[in-house]
Amino acid sequence: MGARGEMIVQAAGGAPGAEDLPLAVSMTGISKSFGGVRALDNVSLKIRRGEVHALLGGNGAGKSTILKVLNGVHRPDAGTIAVCGTELRDVTPEAARAAGIAMNFQELSLIPTLTVAQNVFLTREAKGGLGLIDDRVAERQAAELFAMLDVDVDPRALVGDLGSGQKQLTEIAKAISQDARVLVLDEPSTALAVSDVDRLFVFLRKLKARGVAIIYVSHRMDEIARISDRATILRDGRHVITAPLSDLPIDTMIEHIVGKRSKGLSDVARAAVHRGEALLELRNVSGRHKPQDITLTVHRGEVVGLAGLLGSGRSSLARVIAGIDPVRAGEIRINGKAVAIGKPADAIAAGIALVPEARATQGIIPAHSVASNMVLAVLDRMTRAGLIKGADVKSVADAQIQRLAIKTASRDHAVSTLSGGNQQKVVIGKWLATDPDLLVLDEPTAGIDIGSKSEIIRLVRDLAAAGKGIVFISSELSELLTACDRILVLSEARLFADLPREAFDDPAIPADDTAHRLQAAEQRLQIEIQEALKQGQKV
């Protein structure tokens, strides 16, 4: 403990002399490809000691890839990594940890049934006489550590009894006690209440003063403006800019993040909407915690997008509509008639289908065949006199395989053998087989290749044209803007904006300059999301 304290105090020389010391992190010329796709192209990332450095970029910009290179999960194709002046060769997760890099504070490293002190010193327990563990020593050491770091957590409390904010502070304190010199915080505020965010920031400033370098990843621009000293922005796997926050007002940041569209989805045609009668109506609907007091209408022939950050309540809303989470208040109407949706089967009977966000657990049964997965929601239609008709199963499976151009060796192959994009198509096929009126898609393009992405968006447009109603959730703004006729913005479980797609268009940009138009629209949507975030936190 003593030596560790000295190390931290020594490094705490603070900002003035910091330039003389080697950089906390120096990644130079990092490139990384996955099967021919360039995820990182000659990217450099320099983090000083004692700074909070924001890492920004849209989905697929390369943020998580470069962080995984830093902590040894991915091996770079080219480039060098140095931590506090020492070059790391053959970075493995163990080597990165030994060099003082700590990340992934999502409460995963804490054991809820042990106390805070037991958790902090897990595998490094203080031994008393006879070589037995002495918890009181650990509690005293934890109390000293917390006092030094100004963390207000009781070392004797069970971790399971702590709130999210306290858990996070405990986890970070644990990392610091293990000599962490670089902290990577990936969306640390998502699960936190506003007051907990304030407490986290006080704590981070304390760590800064001790010379710890902090890499802060977030989509919440106002938070970034509050806590960061400098920022690095990535786009399409390339380094765009590294600058002090004083040179990066929020709209400039958004401009750099969105950038010029090189490849894109702008080629998906959006035919004029033939908005039919109201299909789904929610009146003041609330779930258990999320969503809160949602009123909205989805018409036939319409694609309605749900925009918002992680934790804004988009997926909860989808689950409530699909009968997976209970409705606690309000009314759901389908085709003008109030329906009681108490379980998934009720929603299916009402013509609702949900393509859920977690494909591997909620969408497919990985070890079962494509055909078995495809008929799972329509089993009752496949049976005659209680027996499953093999011919019916085949024809349903083959029809969807053909319609969605699913690449599989055969309908009898396990879904787990398919690529991510094709697995997702199996999930979509399973739901199209129910012939739903309303299709809710929750992040349908997450983790799939660009080809499948455009196919899915085209499919969504076709389904709307055929008179279905679609609710489309995505974190990729360009995708929302290409697929949707109307975009709703959620924040803190509530609905804050309901805007037609045209509202995002800039009339000053000529209609044929599609790339430029989409870029401008994306900036406007980003601003709407940040605005909703501010309003949401006030409520």
Partner 1 sequence: MTTANPSLARSFHANWRQYIIYIGFAVIFVVFALTLTDKGFLNPNNLLNIVRQTAMIAVMAVAMTFVLSAGEIDLSVGAVAGLATVTVAMAIAVAGPVAGVAAGIATGLAVGMFNGWLTTRIGIPSFLTTLAMMGIAKGVAMWVSNTAAVPILSPGYSWLFGGGALIGVPVLLFWMLLFGAIGHVVLRRTGFGRRVLATGGGEMAARYSGIDTKAIKFRVLVLSSTAAAFAGMLYAGRLQSGRFQLGEGDELSVIAAAVLGGTSLFGGKGTIIGTIVGALMIGMINNGLILMGLEFSQQLIARGAIIILAVALSQKRS
CB 265 to partner 1: min, Å? 27
Q: For partner 1, which stretch binds (CB under 8 A), given 96-104, 184-192, 285-293, 373-381?
A: 373-381
How many residues form the binding site for partner 1 (CB under 8 A)?
A: 30
Q: For partner 1, which stretch binds (CB under 8 A), given 170-178, 185-193, 366-374, 522-530?
A: 366-374
Degrees, nearest 5: CA angle 162-163-169: 85
CB 504 to partner 1: min, Å? 32
* 376 near partner 1, judged by CB under 8 A: yes
Q: Tokens representing 236?
A: 């399409």
Treating both helix axes as pointing N-terminal to C-terminal, what angle do 450-465 and 420-432 enclose, rounded to 10 degrees? 20
Treating both helix axes as pointing N-terminal to C-terminal, what angle do 250-258 and 514-538 enclose, rounded to 10 degrees? 140
Q: How far apart are CA 137 and CA 117, in angstroms?
A: 9
Window 483-512: residues binding partner 1 (CB under 8 A): none
For residue 354, give the 3-state DSSP assignment: strand
Treating both helix axes as pointing N-terminal to C-terminal, what angle do 135-149 and 194-209 enclose, rounded to 10 degrees? 90
Whether 307 contacts 490, CB under 8 Å: yes
Nearest to 406 by CA among 432, 440, 378: 432
Question: Of 117 and 348, which CB lies nearer to partner 1 in the complex structure?
Answer: 348
Query: Which one of residues 24, 354, 493, 529 is an interface residue with partner 1 (CB under 8 A)?
Result: 354
Show the site string, 383-402: x = touches partner 1 by CB under 8 A, - = not: x--xxx--------------
Q: For partner 1, which stretch binds (CB under 8 A), given 32-40, 106-114, 361-369, 400-408?
A: 361-369
Query: Count of CB atoms within 10 A of residue 181's CB?
Result: 22
Q: How far apart are CA 123 and CA 136, in angstroms?
A: 16
Question: Of 63 and 430, which CB lies nearer to partner 1 in the complex structure?
Answer: 430
Query: Which one of residues 379, 395, 407, 462 is an interface residue with partner 1 (CB under 8 A)?
Result: 379
Show the site string, 253-272: x = touches partner 1 by CB under 8 A, - = not: --------------------
Question: Of 193 and 349, which CB lies nearer to partner 1 in the complex structure?
Answer: 349
CB 14 to partner 1: min, Å? 50
* 367 near partner 1, judged by CB under 8 A: yes
Window 112-131: residues binding partner 1 (CB under 8 A): none
CB 345 to partner 1: min, Å? 4
CB 321 to partner 1: min, Å? 13
Whether 73 contacts 13, CB under 8 Å: no
Query: Which one of residues 19, 90, 380, 512 is an interface residue with partner 1 (CB under 8 A)?
Result: 380
* 446 near partner 1, judged by CB under 8 A: no
Phi/psi of residue 163, each to 5°?
Answer: -80, 170
CB 408 to partner 1: min, Å? 16
Degrees, nearest 5: CA angle 50-53-58: 170
CB 420 to partner 1: min, Å? 16
Instruction: Show Cβ contacts of residue 120 under 8 Å, excluding neighbours closer than 6 positions.
Output: 138, 141, 142, 145, 155, 170, 173, 174, 177
Q: How far apart are CA 240 and CA 477, in angstroms?
A: 19
The DSSP code for 60 is T
Q: For partner 1, which stretch binds (CB under 8 A), given 1-9, 231-239, 369-377, 501-509?
A: 369-377
Question: Of 360 and 405, which CB lies nearer to partner 1 in the complex structure?
Answer: 360
3-state secondary structure 84-148: CCEEECCCCHHHHHHCCEEECCCCCCCCCCCEHHHHHCCCCCCECHHHCECHHHHHHHHHHHHHH
Window 416-435: residues binding partner 1 (CB under 8 A): 430
Query: Which one of residues 61, 341, 364, 448 is an interface residue with partner 1 (CB under 8 A)?
Result: 364
The kind and range of the H/E element at 43 are: strand 37-47
Question: Of 228 and 315, which CB lies nearer to partner 1 in the complex structure?
Answer: 315
Question: Of 18 and 378, which CB lies nearer to partner 1 in the complex structure?
Answer: 378
Q: How far apart are CA 455 and CA 531, in angstroms?
A: 32
CB 471 to partner 1: min, Å? 16
Show the site string, 309-348: x = touches partner 1 by CB under 8 A, - = not: -------------x-x------------------xxx-xx
Q: Exposed, middle or buried, 393 (CB in 10 Å: 0-12/13-18/19+)?
A: buried
Site for partner 1, rule CB under 8 A: 322, 324, 343-345, 347-348, 354, 356, 358, 361-368, 372, 375-377, 379-380, 382-383, 386-388, 430
